[in-house]
Amino acid sequence: MTAIVRTDDVLGGDPRIEGTRIGVLHVFDLVIAGTSTPEDAADQLGIGLGDVYGALSYYYDHADEMARIRARHESLEDELAERTVQPPTAVE
């Protein structure tokens, strides 16, 4: 059985597959929101097929938590985009 763990100093405490730095959200995004089959995702990530299904199961069993994590990620992305300085354009 796949263990999903949280560690404050790994992936910011987001749930991940034990023994890896592969987050539940990453697996979901590859398989459900993306174009990978579970088999392809397992191969790409170097994990077992059971780990993929374990992560997906965790995602669906903790949908509210995962929605909060996704919202936090999107907020951080927005904040970083606002703080990014665009390089000056060349003047001809």
pTM here? 0.83
Which tens digit of pLDDT belongs to each residue from 51-76?
Answer: 999 999 999 999 999 999 999 999 98
**Cβ pair 4, 55 in contact under 8 A:** yes
Find, among 55, 61, 65, the residue nearest to 1 by Cα.
55
Which helix (H) or strand (E) element contains residue 66? helix 63-83
**CA torsion, ordered 58, 61, 35, 4, to nearest 10 deg:** -10
Average pLDDT value for residue range 2-16: 95
What would the pLDDT profile of 34-51 be if each residue is shown by its tens digit?
999 999 999 999 999 999
User: Would you say residue 83 has pLDDT above 90?
Assistant: no
Residue 18: alpha-carbon gap to chain centroid:
14
Structural domains in the chain, CATH included, are 4-83 (1.10.10.10)
